Structure 1
Amino acid sequence: MNKLLIIDGSSILTTCFFATVPREYYYGKTPEEKQAALSRVMKTSNGICVNGVYTAMKSLTKLLNSQKPSHLAVAWDITRDTFRRRIYPEYKGNRAETVPELKSQFILMQELLEEANIQQFMDANLEADDLIGSLAKQFEQQLPTYIYTKDQDCLQLVSDYTRLWLNTGKADELKKEYNVSGIPDNCFEFTPYYVKEVYGLDPIQIIDKKALEGDTSDNIPGVKGVGEKACIPLLQEYGTIEMIYEALEDDEKSFKENCKALGVRTPVKALKEGKESAFLSKNLATIRCKNLEVTLDELTLAVNEIALNRKYKEFEFKSLVKPIHEPSARVAEQGCLF
């Protein structure tokens, strides 16, 4: 079956990098101890760090071979200074700088994928999520679309046409609970039904959830004093933060009574004081989609095996080098599947 797979390149590379650093990195109490651990990551013979690229390419190859997409796109974050930081300068301001051992591998993996003839997307004004959303909305009604990422923000993109393979530590637990299989390792496949089952909300409401709760990983403030226990019932009742505030401002007494009926500790004061923050947070949490100048045909998966092998040899990935027999070499140069 033809299907489009959209991969969060930044997510898969970062996950694979930190999954393969020496465990002493996590136990290190000083910058020197952490740096000593990082100095032992997998390198080429001339000292180039490649642990993340190697593991990511192993994961990607396994994913493509098991799921067999007909079309493929990879999206990247290339800067934190996107439009969101202009809206809110503190956005992601709590994150440490990317360690050089990882930062250098973004360029290496992008070069490798380019040589392999895999379409990549990056924009200095947008995040990978925005590009993923743009691609999904642009093509989801032309063929089934799947997103592969560790970022829960992409839950808002789930639709009747787009499914999310969310890389999560709860994947095995969820697969067992809902008796599902055929999903990539360490992932759970979210459809609108499963978003509702797991989170109690429709996919589009994930934006409003973050608007109220905030997100410490992205430094999105949310509404102080409104947590999940209040957030979920309120959104189930009113749908959006706009409707919550409309109900509160139209008739505060009735709103309080309704909160009581919902079993929610009345968060009226918190909501009033945090209104501006709620709408700012919703703006930050909303994935921005735009039309990208690419056709579906340009996303057809046709890997240049000869060029890919060349890069594998350059990076000394001996276990990933694929034998290419002479009679098929010309075809491989033009492009074929993994």
Structure 2
Amino acid sequence: MNKHQIMLVDGMALLFRGFFATAFRGNFMKTSEGIPTNGVYQFLRYFLDAVKTFTPTHVICCWDMGSKTFRTEMYADYKANRDEPPKELIPQFDLVKEVVDSFDIANIGIENFEADDCIGTLAKLYAEAHEVLILTGDQDILQLVDERIQVAIMKKGQGNYEVYNETNFYEKKGISPNQIVDLKGLMGDASDNYPGVKGIGEKTAMKLIQAHGSIENILEKIDELPKGVQTKIKMNIDMLHLSRRLATINCNVPIRCELDHTLWNYDRGKIINTFKTLEFKNLEKLV
């Protein structure tokens, strides 16, 4: 079997980033029919730059399918701090998937799970025989890094990536990929709106994980910890375990995607037609 380089794209991360990168100036870009396209336009710029940079053989886009998931069933306040998407962004959710379709690559999403869970499931599946690169802006995905899975985190601007792999991970983060969820269990995640252990921030959480390795080891030696830390953990033990479960990417989502449907080998004429429909003249030179 030939070894492939498979790029899994966090579609929502690129779309939101693209939308807000242009919308802050009030530049929503609209077709002559009045359909807003700024998020899709910038998504394509990010997407095509990443393909050019990392030269994958296969590409798949993964998507969130609504705000209710198994995590909101576990914890009603999960991501409850997030505003509704701006009205100009809403029609672009379907539009961006249509554009991805025109490249003849797969759009993957499943009700009740997040894009991260789809990415995790497919990454583990493909990494049995191939190299996988995940493109995202979301640090949570770093828990998936292993021998055959790399993560490219998009940095500010276009074409700036920080690539994490098994070799450089510890040097960059000070912990291993599988310790990320334990770290999140302790410190929580403000952007996803779960608290972890109240009163324990990133600095203390990092020290605890570096010293003890895991939440299990911390709890085993809890009596040796400073009194203040002991008290905080004991008072928030249920939330500690819940926060770790919320942070853990589910890599057993019931999805499959045959690699034949994901080959990066598009029909340029078809893409140019799509760009013409959306009035994306400036992008034609990128394909």
1:269 alignment partner, one of 211, 228, 231? 231
Residue by residue, what CA displacement relative to the aligned partner does 1:277-311 show, whole Å, maximum 9, x if unpaired? 00000010000012532223332222132322221
In the other structure, the counterpart of 1:214 is 188
Q: Is the 8 A contact 2:122 2:256 kept in 1?
A: no
Deviation at 1:314, TM superposition (A): 0.7
Contact 2:46 2:159 in 1 (8 A): no
CA contact (8 A) 1:6 1:75 kept: yes
Residues in 2 aligned to 1:158 and 1:76: alpha-carbon distance in whole angstroms: 20
Q: Which has the larger radius of gyration?
A: 1
TM-score (norm 1): 0.80
Matches within 5 A, 1:283-322: 283-290=245-252, 292-321=255-284
Query: Which consecutive aligned stretches of 4+ in structure 1 deviate over 3 angstroms post-superposition?
Result: none
Pair 1:13 & 2:15 matched: yes
- Structure 2 unmatched runs, 5+: none
Find 2:206's aligned residue among 206, 226, 232: 232
- 2:200 and 2:272 mapped to 1: Cα distance? 53
Residue 52 of structure 1 is matched in structure 2 by 39
Kept after mapping to 1: 8 A contact 2:106/2:262: yes
Structure 1 residue 73, shift from structure 2 partner: 0.6
Alignment of 1:8-87 (within 5 A): 8-23=10-25, 37=26, 40-87=27-74
| 1:242 maps to 2:242 | no
**Deviation sequence 1:163-195 (CA, Å, 0-9, x none):** 1101134x9xxxxxxxxxxxx822100113433
**45-54 vs 290-299, which moves further:** 290-299
Q: TM-score, normalised by structure 2?
A: 0.93
Within a 5 Å distance, the mapping from 1:30-179 to structure 2 comes to 37=26, 40-169=27-156
Identity %: 36
What is the CA distance between 1:200 and its match in structure 2? 1.2
Paired letter, 1:14: F
TM-superposed deviation, 1:266: 4.5
What is the root-mean-square deviation in Å for CA atoms of aligned residues?
1.9
Q: Which of the pair has the greater relative contact order for Cα pairs under 8 Å at 6+ separation? A: 2
Aligned pairs, number = 284
Q: Which residue identity lines up with residue 87 of structure 2 in the other structure?
A: P
- Secondary structure of the structure 2 residue equivalent to 1:101: coil
Post-superposition Cα deviations, 1:232-285, rounded to whole Å, max 9, x if no partner, equal: 12112222112211222xxx1xx13xx5xxxxx850100100110000000100
